[in-house]
Chains A and B, each alone.
Chain A
């Protein structure tokens, strides 16, 4: 059973702080990793993708991948109240199979 695990939260951080969201997955052969943001009542929106070990930065967002430890994380620097949402981690375990989603971590940025 392919699984993606996330802490459901809520994770509360003050405005301006770094928010750290973590995700673990169950299969070492996983290839592709994605972070989606979902505002309440809206659809998931892709914000980051990462395919190789290390860090990938895009604006205030940094995705970190460690395949040996089977975890992927998302750091949000200078958190803003507008970052308050549920963040979904998604993994493609092998080519030509669909994404497996975690249940998401709810982030609340307090002004």
Chain B
């Protein structure tokens, strides 16, 4: 079975540019999660969706960050404009439901903002 698929794997761009990260969850999983991981702060939950509906975006750091899930098989995380402090590894994860079920992670996108 295909796991969670993220693209791109690496992104290097200049400050001020728009960045779009993409995620395809595991087929049949109803919950999707976006995380950011840094050495200092560990794994932070940014936003999660149930059945394509955003449930909690309180982890989104600023209005520069936005996420969408137009259908059950695709989600995007957008940063506009990007800043050097956004540099991190961004993970997408999915699970069958939110409660009592572990999440399965994609390989992540390593983002560097110069």
Q: Which residues of A line the B interface, CB within 8 A?
A: 31-32, 34, 42-46, 49, 51, 88, 90, 92, 94-99, 101-104
Contact = CB atoms under 8 A, between A and B. Distances in A.
Contact residues on B (Cβ < 8 Å of other chain), bracket: 20 to 34
A34 B42 contact: no
A34 B106 CA distance: 17
B78 interface: no
B102 A34 contact: yes
A88 B102 contact: no
B106 to A, nearest CB: 6
Contacts, number: 54
A98 B56 CA distance: 10
B97 interface: yes
B46 to A, nearest CB: 11
17 contacts: A31-B99, A32-B99, A32-B100, A32-B102, A43-B106, A43-B108, A44-B105, A46-B102, A92-B99, A95-B99, A96-B97, A96-B99, A97-B99, A98-B45, A98-B98, A99-B102, A99-B103
